[in-house]
């Protein structure tokens, strides 16, 4: 006697991303109440389940929703305004513009960022930006998992944070976390001490303690460029990761964005603490920061996920193109074509990103008991043929335009290449109007 389910996805090449890296040819997924209840062949699940709703993957590639482990989504409003600069010049250009941000402009920027993410097959992001409640509101409406929360940027911040003392900021962050305790689709909250160059060790220690008291992820930039490391050494008397270690900020609940300039013992430190790294190759290349030692970090057991960084420094919120770049860069850096196989890069874009957020029991693979965050990529075009290996096709030849359907929590948030919760043309128009107003001042 077949059991009922809410939705059956059928006839896909299901890239499960479980420990065994299983691929099911003509695979299917049964979903009930937003949860994956069965994964098997189409024939098997069509016999086991009855449903009012079937989604035919038409022999496309089915993967877990991708995780963007480091971004600033609302910075879509500043896309293209600070190109061709080093990190220091980039920050100097952006910080005055950020003084002009309002809840409305962050909402417009976050809406565009989330729409672009969903269209790219990204279903979860660890975000760091002002007015986090605005982005959360948009994410809940569009069906996107946004892990975010209060951000601390020291004296370099926008006027609305700088007008408070650090103690006041900390108290406000604490009450924000109390009043936003239900993380909804985001599943967890985060707290973002920006970096060791804008905050002192004791401030970072207090912020990390606050995050841990609330079960939140600590999300921090560190060791992004050689110039940053030198600056922090000069001003704090220690390297960025040493400052984080002294502040007890490194732990299994911490995500360090970038980690480009690392000494051996700093790699060991990250491994010993179980701290995750968000590798942001596009941003690191565009700002000429360098190439992170991702292969070595992974070999030491450090969880590494893929980040796009903000759309002002990478200009693209797709995790798949960033994963492609990550694989190519490790091969180039090590002079070893076997470094970072396609399967490992896809793992970083999915299950390792979820693990880095402490959410791999719910996200990152297509397994029974996990939430139904599923991306169906079309594989009918010439760029997907011949399909010898789904990992190879995904990483090296498919792109954003091949994303056909996206489910988050079992809900169809992208259908036939269009977001279901917003009018993309209208979102783009509002982003352009908002960006123009911000740049005029």
Q: Is there binding between residue 228 and Zn ion (CB under 5 A)?
A: no
The vertex-68 CA angle with 381 and 303, nearest 5°, equals: 110
User: Which of residues 69 and 269 has its CB atom nearest to Zn ion in the complex?
Assistant: 69
User: Which of residues 309 and 344 has its CB atom nearest to Zn ion in the complex?
Assistant: 309
Q: CB-based contacts of 440: which residues, under 8 Å, 6+ apart?
A: none
Q: How far is the CB of 72 from Zn ion (least distance, A)?
A: 6
If residue 261 lies in a helix (H) or strand (E), which one and from where to where? none
Q: How far is the CB of 192 from Zn ion (least distance, A)?
A: 9
If residue 12 lies in a helix (H) or strand (E), which one and from where to where? strand 7-15
User: Which of residues 309 and 352 has its CB atom nearest to Zn ion in the complex?
Assistant: 309
User: Which of residues 7 and 153 has its CB atom nearest to Zn ion in the complex?
Assistant: 153
Q: Is there binding between residue 224 and Zn ion (CB under 5 A)?
A: no
Only segment of 41-49, 195-203, 267-275, 307-315 that touches Zn ion (CB under 5 A) = 307-315
Q: Is there binding between residue 309 and Zn ion (CB under 5 A)?
A: yes
Only segment of 17-25, 50-58, 303-311, 333-341 that touches Zn ion (CB under 5 A) = 303-311
Distance CA 203, CA 167 (A): 9
If residue 18 lies in a helix (H) or strand (E), which one and from where to where? none
Residue nearest to Zn ion (CB): 309
| Residue 314 main-chain phi, psi, to 5 deg | -125, -20
Distance CA 34, CA 17 (A): 19
3-state secondary structure of 123: strand
Count of residues that interact with Zn ion, criterion CB under 5 A: 1
CA dihedral 377, 379, 384, 386 (to 10 degrees): 140
Q: How far is the CB of 309 from Zn ion (least distance, A)?
A: 5
Query: Is the alpha carbon torsion for 43, 5, 65, 56 positive or negative?
Result: positive
User: Which of residues 199 and 377 has its CB atom nearest to Zn ion in the complex?
Assistant: 199
Window 405 to 434, contacts with Zn ion (CB under 5 A): none
User: Which of residues 201 and 309 has its CB atom nearest to Zn ion in the complex?
Assistant: 309
**Binding map of Zn ion across residues 124-143, x = CB under 5 A, - = no contact:** --------------------
Chain contacts with Zn ion (rule: CB under 5 A): 309
């Amino acid at each position: 006697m077949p059991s009922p389910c809410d939705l059956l996805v059928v006839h896909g090449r299901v890239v499960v991303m479980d420990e065994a890296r299983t691929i099911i040819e003509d695979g299917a997924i049964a979903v009930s109440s937003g949860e994956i209840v069965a994964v098997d062949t189409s024939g098997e699940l069509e016999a086991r389940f009855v449903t009012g709703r079937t989604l035919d993957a038409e022999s496309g590639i089915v993967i877990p929703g991708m995780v963007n482990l480091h971004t600033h989504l609302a910075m879509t409003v500043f896309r293209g305004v600070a190109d061709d600069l080093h990190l220091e010049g980039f920050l100097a250009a952006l910080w005055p513009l950020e003084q002009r941000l309002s809840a409305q402009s962050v909402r417009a920027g976050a809406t565009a960022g989330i729409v672009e993410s969903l269209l790219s097959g990204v279903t979860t992001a660890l975000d760091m930006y002002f007015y986090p409640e605005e982005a959360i509101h948009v994410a809940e409406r569009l069906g996107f998992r946004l892990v975010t929360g209060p951000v601390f940027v020291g004296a370099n911040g926008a006027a609305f944070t700088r007008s408070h003392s650090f103690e006041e900021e900390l108290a406000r962050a604490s009450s924000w976390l109390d009043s936003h305790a239900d993380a909804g689709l985001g599943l967890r909250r985060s707290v973002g001490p920006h970096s060791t160059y804008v905050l002192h060790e004791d401030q970072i220690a207090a912020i990390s303690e606050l995050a841990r008291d609330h079960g939140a992820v600590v999300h921090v930039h560190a060791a992004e460029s050689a110039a940053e490391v030198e600056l922090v050494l000069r001003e704090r008397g220690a390297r960025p990761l040493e400052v984080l270690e002294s502040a007890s900020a490194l732990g299994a609940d911490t995500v360090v964005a970038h980690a480009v300039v690392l000494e051996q013992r700093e790699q060991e430190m990250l491994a010993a603490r179980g701290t995750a790294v968000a590798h942001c190759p596009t941003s690191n290349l565009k700002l000429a920061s360098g190439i992170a030692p991702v292969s070595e970090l992974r070999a030491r057991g450090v969880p590494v996920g893929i980040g796009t960084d903000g759309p002002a420094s990478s200009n693209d919120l797709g995790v798949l193109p960033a994963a492609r770049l990550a694989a190519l860069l490790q091969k180039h850096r090590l002079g070893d074509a076997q470094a970072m196989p396609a399967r490992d890069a896809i793992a970083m874009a999915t299950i390792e990103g979820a693990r880095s957020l402490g959410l791999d029991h719910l996200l990152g693979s297509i397994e029974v008991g996990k939430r139904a965050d599923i991306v169906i990529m079309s594989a009918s075009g010439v760029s997907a043929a011949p399909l010898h290996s789904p990992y190879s096709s995904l990483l090296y030849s498919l792109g954003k335009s091949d994303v056909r359907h996206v489910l988050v929590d079992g809900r169809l948030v992208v259908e036939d290449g269009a977001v279901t919760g917003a009018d993309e043309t209208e979102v783009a128009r509002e982003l352009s109007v908002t960006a123009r107003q911000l740049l005029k001042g």
